Structure 1
């Protein structure tokens, strides 16, 4: 058995024709166990139970009124459904200007028929303060455009479009946000009461397109999400989540596709991503606050049959201080360029752990880095809260071309990345093949980086 420990090895100097094949007998790998674990997680996830009572948005305002501001009609329809114990709010074909957030309540399905387009106003004054989270810190900020808090049995379904109009007024916030972003970190580290963490007007933290907070039994199905101000779909401290068959075209800064934060029992499947940032990011709070919420890690997550395009396909971190565990990703592929395929990122301020992660049967085209796991993200962090990264399995992965790094595992001397198993990994071209730094128990079986080696040439 080959054990590569605490050193950097096999880094080619600019050679695209580097071949590296290791075949090592690996014990204790239980593929059947992974399949059983996935089945068990999926079986545990509860779908929302929505009453069959139905209303149409057009019952609450004229067509002309809905084109100029549909928010009052949404508010009336949701109040009526809530008073009846819930039901389905159908939005028929048409373009609807929505001047402010849609607040979903328990037992309601927002159903967008084909051709229905929700165009949210980009006037920040229309979005009041609500309790939310911003890059891993709880606070009050502009309301997400579609928002639910402490709800259950909620859904967004159909084949319509949700357009956040994030490329206008909201986009201008990006260049001004840094002082507020740093302030959120300070409030987190100082354990300032959440009720005193007020942002919104006069500040520049952009809202999420969709956020479900402290909620359960959630379904998001079929809808297309476009042009978000910030993260697209944010599931925050929520459970029993099914995301199926949705799609994206969202190219603004920080337009992550799906962000899971303190989330458990999650199924993501049949999703087509086209995002300017992370396609799927699994998070669990930041630094002091995240570690204080260690009882709610992100866990029991299944991702399958997805198509990736954007910045990074699958990310864990960097805000993961409560821990991330029991994640299963399989049977997915890239349909366009990605900067990185698989990216785990944390630093010495975070703490927490990333463990029991199983990734298999993925195919990528051109990426900058294939697999990159670092406990020193951006060289940041000067604390003593080094994250534990362990029990990671990568199997049956294919990369057509890697423009920079093939496989990078980068831990700390006092807390190495350990127990990583890589099997049947094919990287056909790579500028830099393999870097292992502060690792223990890294095992390979049938790993190829560069063209496959043939018969050695004869001595002339």
Structure 2
């Protein structure tokens, strides 16, 4: 008789082999086959091209060693190449300290092997500029790497770009060991009134205390923003209103806020990157693709402090007024280690997200695997999302999570926080332009091992999650699938092994269809409840004893469950 431990080890072995086979299949992803097996009409991304002209930053006074700022050397080199019609700016091996780098069109910033660009931790090097952050029109410090209204730009090579993010970021005591926290506090900075957050400066603390809406200090007027400048952390790479962009090869790490943020851009290729942030870094996202069109994201690795690969399109009225969705994107062959979510849509999705293909990705210990989030007030439509061949292991919360009551909390709760996974009060709200909608999302070949929860669906009572399909998938988790306020969930050839809970729970949802649904090995089988639940269908061959295997909650309509 197999023990629980041996069964778990067997599942882990099978999962490891599956990941290995998947990796073998996807290692050859390139520009030629990246467009294969796409479910929608994907335009071919226009690519970059550069003249043969090239210069080194040493030609313009660049000094290696990490002591002398090379801001002028970078600016002069970029200006020279620009006036010559474009080409390559070479960063040789060495440590290159600098202030912000501003791109012009037709520039390829190329980091040779052993090159390390370190951005200055002197906040005076980063003036305030009008921009967008977390989907809102606001003011932040200028980004270390910035480009606006340019065309045909690239960052290439095998070097490293470091944003000196630790100089900017607040840190929560809950994210540190006792020794780490003591060392951080002794390094300087100031503490919040409750001693639970460390700030690098008084200005940073003042900015935090002046904010009610995440990272935007809305309790002070624009004239006072200079006094909280230290709080207005920039994203490390900001590319805005630009076309034909290539990021290929470098390591991007230690960003003040988000790592890479293309905004309202078209024709992007993001490949072969290593994107890293400390696990404790607040807003330490990897890639945030916002209101962008026609993009390829492949062969990258992420190990970050917040969401890894995240698609957005603006927040609330600012996002709806912009009205630019993120659309036509292929995501293939990426690996994510630590992150709040491996692949994420939202919560700032007010301009919509559509026509997205995600396949052949592996998530190892991310807080959530596939994460979809929004809330009332956002508006926007997320639709036509196709996800396949995803391997996950050691997911501490949900492998797949839909939450339309997103409150801004981390998936892994800190001490004293309440979960937003509880069933919400069934209060109908009028459907308006502020109502978010998630629909037509198709997933197949999802394999999950040694994780907490298989799937959590939670829509709104006035706008259910609609038409979501899971096929040919296996989940070895403690808890199974929960569907709340959903309409049109299809489970086909799905195996759930939920060791501690029900394999499937349905609450106030309709048009739920499960066929070839295998729940052997789960602690309990199926629970259906809620007065608004209707048309929950199971195959007769999957249900051997309806009374024992399907628990019905009080108030459930007697005709809500159908066995065919």
Task: Give the Å deviation of 1:182.
Answer: 3.2
CA contact (8 A) 1:256 1:276 kept: yes
Tell me the residue number matched to 2:97. 97
Cα 1:122–1:396 change in 2 (3 A) is same
The 5 A counterparts of 1:222-371 are 222-251=249-278, 252-294=281-323, 296-311=324-339, 312-334=341-363, 336-367=364-395, 368-371=397-400
CA contact (8 A) 1:140 1:200 kept: no
CA contact (8 A) 2:168 2:233 kept: no
Deviations along 1:70-123, whole A, 9 cap, x unmatched? 11100110111111121100100000111x210011000000001000011112
Cα 1:75–1:180 change in 2 (3 A) is farther
Describe the SS at the equivalent of 1:58: helix
Q: CA RMSD in A?
A: 2.8
- What TM-score do the two structures reach when normalised by structure 2? 0.69
C-alpha distance in structure 1 between counterparts of 2:79 and 2:337, whole Å: 38
C-alpha distance in structure 1 between counterparts of 2:359 and 2:392, whole Å: 13
Describe the SS at the equivalent of 2:391: strand
C-alpha distance in structure 1 between counterparts of 2:249 and 2:224, whole Å: 35
Larger radius of gyration: 2
Cα 1:39–1:443 change in 2 (3 A) is closer
Deviations along 1:270-289, whole A, 9 cap, x unmatched? 00111111111100000011
Aligned length: 413
Deviations along 1:239-271, whole A, 9 cap, x unmatched? 101001000221122111100111111100000
C-alpha distance in structure 2 between counterparts of 1:176 and 1:436, whole Å: 42
C-alpha distance in structure 1 between counterparts of 2:490 and 2:238, whole Å: 39
Asked if residue 141 in structure 1 is aligned to residue 188 in structure 2, the reply is no
C-alpha distance in structure 2 between counterparts of 1:373 and 1:446, whole Å: 21
Gaps of 5+ in 1: 1-15, 17-33
- What TM-score do the two structures reach when normalised by structure 1? 0.84
C-alpha distance in structure 2 between counterparts of 1:49 and 1:181, whole Å: 44
Tell me the residue number matched to 1:410. 458
C-alpha distance in structure 1 between counterparts of 2:53 and 2:216, whole Å: 47
C-alpha distance in structure 2 between counterparts of 1:91 and 1:38, whole Å: 40
C-alpha distance in structure 1 between counterparts of 2:368 and 2:223, whole Å: 34
Gaps of 5+ in 2: 1-7, 9-34, 171-198, 408-419, 499-518, 522-541, 546-564
Task: Give the Å deviation of 1:223.
Answer: 0.3
Higher relative contact order (CA 8 A, sep 6+): 1
Describe the SS at the equivalent of 2:328: strand
C-alpha distance in structure 1 between counterparts of 2:291 and 2:472, whole Å: 32
Describe the SS at the equivalent of 1:44: coil
